[in-house]
Amino acid sequence: MNQQRKNDMAQFGIFAWFSYPLPIKERLQRIKQAGFSATSLWWGDEDGAEKHRQPELARQIGLAVDNVHAPYGNTNALWEDGIEGEAYLQTLLSCIGDCSLHGIPTSVVHITRLSIRSEVTRIGMDRVKRLVEFAEQKQVNLAIENLNSIPHLDRIYAELSSERLGFCYDSGHEHFIHPNADCLSRYGNKLFAVHLHDNCGDSDAHLLPYDGTIEWDAVRTKLKACREIPYLTLEVDFKREHPKSALYRGLSAAEFLALAYARLQLLA
């Protein structure tokens, strides 16, 4: 009961990239001006110096950094013997180390692709174990996101136990890839972060909540029964070529962010 009341008071966050090609400082300023309390950062494409400036920049603007999203490429290689799997492991380890360096509580990671996935393997489990051990050492939360990965998540959470090992719930991935998995009931006691966005079940469109076909009343009810998290976070990097994205045509960045904030208020 107490946990449910706390989740009722979760603050609002949004990913720093929300489909408007603005300089990072302006994006963060607009996020703050729209009323959001936190942001999440992509830890991939930017050059090293620029990337490492972003956490402090966000804080100077008045935003907490809820998590960073680790880079991903050939994620399936994590489960396969070879140098690609080791290289991806090192990428994830480096991201955890950077979270520790910048005082960011959580690293969100992909362990499979959204489409085709590798089988669960011993070498893959050993690599995930190394990630968990490093996260414990660095005191960073490791939040594994649901992609085409339900068998992998089931195996990981059954075999590995750590206060630093948890789950990032992606509502759009669930609706598109595994609508019957019921991830929040399945892994909600391990919840560290959420990526909230909508689609029509036919693609990973990253629309605002209530603009697709996800049943948000059910999501809201399930979220309130999950492990307490500080922020309800949108990941609405919508595909501008998607027909439903016409809903946002003509909206300025400020107008889109105001609409995004209002949609989170419906979920709170």
CATH number at residue 239: 3.20.20.150
- Whole-prediction pTM: 0.94
CA-CA-CA-CA dihedral for 28, 10, 264, 16, to nearest 10: 20
Q: What percent of the chain has a predicted confidence (pLDDT) above 70?
A: 96
Tell me: the pLDDT tens digits for 2-45?
344 344 558 999 999 999 999 999 999 999 999 999 999 999 86
With a cut of 80, say whether residue 243 has pLDDT above it. yes
44 backbone dihedrals φ, ψ, rounded to 5°: -125, -70
CB 119 within 8 A of CB 158: no
Question: According to the model, what pLDDT value does residue 223 have?
Answer: 97
Higher pLDDT among residues 45 and 139, named by residue: 139
pLDDT tens, 210-239?
999 999 999 999 999 999 999 999 999 877
Angle subtended by helix axes 122-138 and 150-159, to nearest 10: 60
Supply the range of the domain harboring residue 173.
2-267
pLDDT digits (tens, 9 = 90+) for 54-102: 999 999 999 999 999 999 988 999 999 999 999 999 999 999 999 999 9
CA-CA distance, 246 to 129, in Å (whole number)?
A: 44
Beta bridge partners of 170: 195
Average pLDDT over the chain reads: 94
Alpha helices (runs of H) in 139-179, residue ranges in sequence order: 150-159, 171-177
Residue 121 has pLDDT above 80, yes or no: yes
- Please tell me which residue, 161 or 243, carries the higher pLDDT value: 161
How much is the pLDDT for 4? 40
CB contact at 8 A, 139 and 162: no
- Residue 70 has a pLDDT of 96
The number of folded domains in the chain is: 1
Q: Place 47 in a pLDDT band, splitting at 50, 70 and 90.
A: low
